[in-house]
């Protein structure tokens, strides 16, 4: 039972990071029906910028917490600038183009960003300096570190802030109006271009924070880290109902937990020797103490995509989906 | 539609012209006969530091041979060092192997990984080009029956049992968990470890797997934590082994971690931080520090870093190629290959000669422990005997 609890804790941490990234996908989709496949790379750039800042400041001997804070506060503006530039240069000129054009552009932007990062930060796996002393606390048999607690708390705070922004401020109202109908929102005096740019910038900022979280949590970063992370977050957004902000939060957390539990239990569940009649069939391969495992925990990355397929087949609008993809 | 065609023709013509222009001056500059020696290892990617280390070792040997002005068949020889990057990727490995074959290299040092060496070996064999690896330890490499394949390090069916029996006799675990990264190297050494542990009547948990890019080990480790193993062995490289060990300690796992040579470097401290303390690991060969002193000094002077792992072995590998060429008085692979097979060479890693398969005879294995950020040799295992490191080399 304590293992189950521990896997849930792992899943929650992972899931809240997915949720942060998924928000970037879902907000952009909600407002201009574009799947911004370059969002994963923005997360990676966030991690990389934070790495550079943290490494150089840690050498200067500043207190760890300040260093990490400064790392985040450098990564966020850089990613916001990347997000803005992406929207302004790559997507805005294509706003009235056929749906496929911006989608392909997004993939192009993703490749460009990835290779730029490779030039700046090399192809090597980068080790984040271990400046924060990791404390492990144990509750009911499940270990949780101070870094995990910080990630969870920060995610909750940021999501609450985002909900406030979207549902309680003028900008949020403008965003929701633009999402419903850009033309009419424009006629009502909403500066549509500014609202769309703001959406990209906010999404990129969330991505930057997620990037720093992933970097400090695992302790390593690489220029390719954004692609799989981005795809999984995209699955989370679809799971929650793409275009729906609470949906992205829920989808991220659910996906994280599914992944952790899946990777934790798939090996035992597909151990053919655990099933009497199969073990008899396999004979010698199942001698006492032997195992014949069909799918090991290295299939962890598959769960996100299995979930994606199941959602698309059985509930295309996602868990909290309000809008069914009307086009493309 | 006419213009693009004309433009293309012009570009093609320009490229052809530039191509010609480049080749001529090079041919004039030097009257010595060029002999190309190739090296392959990952110079980019997660284990680029190890690839560069291997490359430097071989480069040093080739440059020293040039300074010594070697003559073969009465002609001055200038060795040209051709370094290729296989990114530790089997697909790229075969591509660069073909590239070296097409460039008509006389011999190759490499590749670093077993996963890239094994698929590349038939290409070299087909072209009759001798290839000596200074670090690929998977047994399969020399079991394929290629006459051109050699290695100057031990095999995983020596390394695996070495680390496993050290673990079994010194830490006396009751249950051991074995994890691998699903590569030829990782799976190979993990299998050998499991075999040895089982033979010593130690319980081995069902195999857990990651990939060579896994950074999230929490789910696997949590599962293992529930089974409470006394030791965890991981067959894989340091870029994934670092996060594995760090996350294991974060989850409060107290087990002894034991890794193979892929994750037996000082780099582990950077990747796992304080969690790396106490790591037990093995290298297929003698420790770098036990290599010939003058080699270590020259290397440090030339590259401004200390050798990390297998540089002394690639240095020896390149020197053996050159020594065999000298003996045969020819750089023609067909002529010097027989000399290579029966060579007895005194290298910086000790006496080297090859058995019928191309494996090094009497290869040593070394067990290390991570102490305050550095791996420290504990014992050397040679011919089935464990010798404490302090007594080794006396």
Question: What digits encode the pLDDT tens for the residues B348-360?
Answer: 998 999 999 999 9
Residue A235 lies in a domain: no
**Contact assignment for A297 to B210 by CB distance below 8 Å:** yes
Q: How far apart are CA A245 and CA A238, in angstroms?
A: 11
Task: Read off the tokens for A239.
Answer: 């799971």
Name the residue among B221, B263, B223, B212 with its Cα closest to residue B242. B263
Of the residues B209, B218, B226, the best mutation for testing chain A's interface (the one with the most A CB atoms within 10 Å of its CB) is: B218
Backbone angles phi, psi at B235, to 5 degrees: -95, 105
Provide the 10 A C-beta neighbour count for residue B334: 10
Within an 8 Å CB–CB cutoff, is residue A31 touching chain B? Answer: no
A297 vs B222: CB contact, 8 Å cut-off? no
B223: closest chain A residue by CA = A264
CB contact under 8 A, B209 and A298: yes
Give mean pLDDT, residues B3-17: 52
Alpha-helix runs per DSSP H in A169-224? 170-180, 182-187, 192-218
- B218 pLDDT more than 70: yes
Residue pair A313/A235 in contact by the 8 Å Cβ criterion: no
Please list every residue in chain B whose beta carbon sits closer than 8 Å to the beta carbon of residue A7: 219, 222-223
**What pLDDT does residue A327 have?**
39
DSSP secondary structure string for all residues of B97-145? HHHHHHTT-SEEEE-SSHHHHHHHHHHHHHHT--EEESS---THHHHT-
What the block records as the tokens of A314 is: 């059985």
Closest-CA distance, B342 to chain A, in angstroms, reads 40
Query: A90 to chain B nearest CA, in Å?
Result: 27
Average pLDDT of chain B? Answer: 88
Model confidence at B4, pLDDT cuts 50, 70, 90, reads: low
CA A143 to centroid of chain Cα atoms:
23
Q: In a structure prediction context, what are the per-residue pLDDT tens digits for chain A, which is 328 residues long?
A: 568 899 999 999 999 999 999 999 999 999 998 999 999 999 999 999 999 999 998 888 788 889 999 999 999 999 999 999 999 999 999 988 998 999 999 999 999 999 999 999 987 788 888 778 888 898 887 889 999 999 999 999 999 999 999 999 999 999 999 999 999 999 999 999 999 999 999 999 999 999 999 998 988 898 989 999 999 999 999 999 988 899 999 999 999 999 999 988 888 888 877 777 777 777 777 776 677 777 888 888 888 899 999 998 998 888 887 654 443 3
pLDDT at A79: 97
Can you give the pLDDT at residue B8? 52
Residues of A in contact with B52 (CB under 8 A): none
- Counting every residue written for chain B, the total comes to 394
End-to-end CA distance of chain A: 44
> Is the CB of residue B49 less than 8 Å away from at least one CB of chain A?
yes
What pLDDT score does B12 carry?
52
Has residue A275 been placed in a domain?
no
CA-CA distance, A127 to A14, in Å (whole number)?
A: 19
Q: Which domain holds residue A205?
A: 2-226
In a domain, A11, yes or no: yes
Answer whether residue A237 is part of any domain.
no
Closest CA to A198 of A316, A30, A7: A30
pTM of the model: 0.82
Alpha-carbon distance of A179 to B359, in angstroms, equals 68
Whether residue B35 contacts residue B108, with contact meaning beta carbons closer than 8 Å, is answered with no
Of B7-21, B91-105, B357-371, the poorest mean pLDDT is in B7-21
Structure tokens at B117: 């060496």
C-alpha of A268 from chain center: 28
- DSSP structure class, residue B392: T
Give the nearest chain B residue to A134 (CA atoms): B250
- Taking an 8 Å cut-off on Cβ atoms, the answer to whether B251 and A6 are in contact is yes
Q: Which residues of A touch B246 (CB under 8 A)?
A: 130, 219
- Chain B contact for A4, CB < 8 A? no
Per-residue DSSP letter, A96: T
Q: What are the beta bridge partners of residue B33? A: B77
**B47, closest residue in chain A (CA to CA):** A124
**DSSP-derived 3-state class of residue B346:** strand
What number is the average pLDDT over the span B221-248?
92
CB atoms < 10 A from the CB of A31, how many?
23
How many alpha carbons lie under 13 Å from residue B326 in its C-beta half-sphere?
15
Residue keyed to tokens 């001997």: A61
The sign of the dihedral angle between the CA atoms of B306, B310, B316, B321 is negative
* Cα A27 → chain centroid: 13
What's phi and psi for A250, nearest 5 deg? -65, -45
Given this model, what pLDDT does residue A148 score?
A: 93
Give the 3-state secondary structure of residue B79: strand
Of B49, B219, B225, which has the smallest distance from its Cβ to A263's Cβ? Answer: B219
Query: What is residue A326's predicted lDDT score, i.e. its pLDDT?
Result: 45
Instruction: State the pLDDT at residue B122.
Output: 95
Nearest one of B136, B153, B155 to B47, comparing CA atoms: B136
**What pLDDT was estimated at residue A3?**
83
Contact A269/B at CB under 8 A: no
Kindly state whether residue A14 falls inside one of the protein's structural domains.
Answer: yes
In a domain, A293, yes or no: no
Residue A209 CA, distance from chain mean position: 10
pLDDT at B20 exceeding the cut of 60 = no
Q: What is the pLDDT of residue B257?
A: 96
Q: What is the 3-state secondary structure (H, E, C) of B349-368?
A: CEEECECCCCCECCCCEEEE
Q: At B366, give phi and psi (nearest 5°).
A: -125, 140
Tell me if B209 and A124 make a contact (CB, 8 A cut-off).
no
- pLDDT above 70 covers a percentage of chain B that reads 92
- Using CB atoms, pick whichever of B207, B225, B274 lies closest to residue A130: B274
**Domains along the sequence of chain B with CATH:** 31-153+289-352 (3.40.50.2300), 157-283+365-391 (3.40.50.2300)
Domain count for chain A: 1
What gap in Å lies between CA B91 and CA B109, rounded to an integer?
18
Residue B7 reports pLDDT greater than 70? no
Query: In terms of Cα–Cα distance, which of B40, B116, B43 is closest to B84?
Result: B40
ipTM of the complex as predicted: 0.85
Residue at A292 is within a domain = no
Nearest CA in chain A to B215: A218
Span B207-213, mean pLDDT? 88
CB contact under 8 A, B243 and A220: yes
Q: Does A295 touch chain B (CB under 8 A)?
A: no
User: Whose CA is closest to A95, among A19, A23, A174, A200?
Assistant: A200
Q: Measured between CA atoms, how close is A34 to chain B, in angstroms?
A: 30
SS3 assignment, position B67: helix
Task: State the Cα–Cα distance between residues B350 and B168, nearest whole angstrom.
Answer: 28
Residue A87 belongs to some domain of the structure: yes
> Could you give the percent of chain B with pLDDT greater than 90?
66
């Amino acid at each position: 039972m304590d293992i189950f609890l521990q896997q849930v804790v792992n899943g929650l941490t992972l899931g809240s990071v997915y949720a942060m990234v998924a928000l970037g996908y879902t907000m952009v989709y909600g407002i201009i029906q574009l799947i911004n496949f370059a969002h994963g790379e923005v997360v990676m750039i966030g991690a990389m910028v934070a790495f550079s800042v943290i490494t150089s400041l840690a050498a200067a001997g500043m207190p760890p917490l300040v260093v990490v804070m400064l790392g985040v506060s450098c990564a966020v503006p850089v990613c916001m600038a990347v997000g803005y530039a992406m929207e302004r240069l790559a997507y805005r000129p294509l706003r009235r183009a056929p749906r496929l054009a911006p989608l392909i552009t997004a993939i192009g932007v993703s490749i460009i960003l990835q290779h730029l990062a490779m030039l700046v930060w090399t192809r090597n796996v980068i080790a984040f300096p271990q400046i924060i002393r990791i404390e492990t606390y144990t509750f009911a048999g499940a270990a949780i570190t101070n870094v995990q607690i910080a990630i969870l708390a920060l995610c909750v705070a940021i999501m609450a802030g985002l909900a406030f922004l979207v549902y309680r401020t003028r900008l949020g109202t403008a965003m929701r109006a633009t999402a419903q109908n850009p033309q009419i929102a424009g006629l009502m005096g909403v500066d549509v271009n500014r609202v769309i740019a703001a959406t990209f910038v906010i999404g990129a900022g969330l991505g930057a924070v997620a990037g720093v979280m992933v970097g400090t949590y695992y302790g390593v970063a690489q220029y390719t880290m954004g692609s799989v992370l981005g795809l999984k977050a995209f699955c989370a957004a679809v799971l929650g109902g793409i275009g729906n902000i609470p949906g992205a939060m829920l989808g991220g957390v659910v996906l994280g937990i599914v992944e952790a539990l899946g990777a934790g239990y798939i090996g035992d569940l597909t151990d053919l020797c655990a099933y009497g009649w199969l073990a008899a069939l396999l004979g010698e391969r199942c001698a006492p103490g032997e195992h014949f495992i069909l799918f090991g925990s290295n299939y962890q990355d598959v769960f996100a995509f299995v979930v994606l397929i199941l959602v698309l087949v059985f509930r295309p609008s996602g868990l909290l989906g309000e809008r069914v993809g009307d086009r493309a | 539609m006419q213009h693009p065609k004309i433009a293309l023709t012009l570009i093609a013509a320009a490229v052809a012209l530039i191509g010609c222009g480049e080749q001529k001056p090079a041919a004039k500059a030097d009257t010595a006969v060029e002999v190309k020696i190739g090296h392959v290892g990952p110079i980019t990617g997660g284990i680029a530091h190890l690839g560069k280390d291997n490359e430097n070792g071989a480069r040093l040997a080739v440059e020293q041979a040039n300074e010594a002005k070697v003559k073969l068949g009465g002609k001055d020889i200038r060795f040209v060092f051709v370094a290729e990057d296989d990114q530790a990727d089997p697909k790229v490995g075969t591509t660069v192997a073909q590239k070296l074959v097409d460039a008509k290299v006389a011999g190759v040092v490499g590749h670093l990984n077993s996963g890239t060496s094994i698929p590349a070996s038939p290409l070299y064999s087909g072209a009759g080009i001798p290839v000596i690896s200074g670090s690929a330890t998977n047994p399969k490499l020399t079991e394929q029956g290629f006459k051109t394949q050699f290695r100057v390090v031990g095999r995983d069916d020596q390394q695996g049992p070495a680390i496993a029996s050290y673990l079994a006799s010194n830490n006396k675990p009751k249950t051991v968990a074995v994890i691998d990264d699903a590569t030829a190297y990782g799976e190979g050494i993990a299998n050998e470890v499991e075999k040895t542990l089982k033979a010593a009547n130690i319980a081995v948990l069902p195999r857990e797997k990651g990939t060579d890019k896994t950074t999230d080990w929490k789910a696997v480790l949590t599962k293992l934590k529930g089974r409470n193993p006394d030791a965890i062995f991981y067959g894989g490289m340091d870029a994934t082994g670092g996060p594995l060990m760090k996350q294991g300690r974060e989850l409060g796992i107290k087990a002894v971690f034991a890794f193979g040579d892929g994750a037996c470097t000082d780099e582990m401290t950077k990747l796992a931080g304080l969690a790396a303390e106490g790591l037990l690991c093995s290298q297929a060969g003698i420790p770098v520090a036990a290599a010939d002193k003058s080699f270590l000094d020259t290397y440090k002077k030339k590259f401004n870093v200390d050798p990390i792992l297998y540089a002394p072995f690639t240095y020896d590998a390149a020197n053996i190629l050159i020594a065999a060429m000298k003996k045969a008085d020819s750089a023609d692979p067909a002529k010097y290959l027989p000399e290579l097979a029966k060579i007895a060479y005194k290298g910086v890693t000790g006496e080297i000669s090859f058995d019928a398969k191309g494996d090094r005879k009497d290869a040593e294995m070394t067990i290390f422990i991570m102490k305050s950020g550095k791996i420290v040799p504990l014992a050397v295992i040679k011919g089935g005997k464990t010798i404490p490191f302090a007594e080794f080399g006396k």
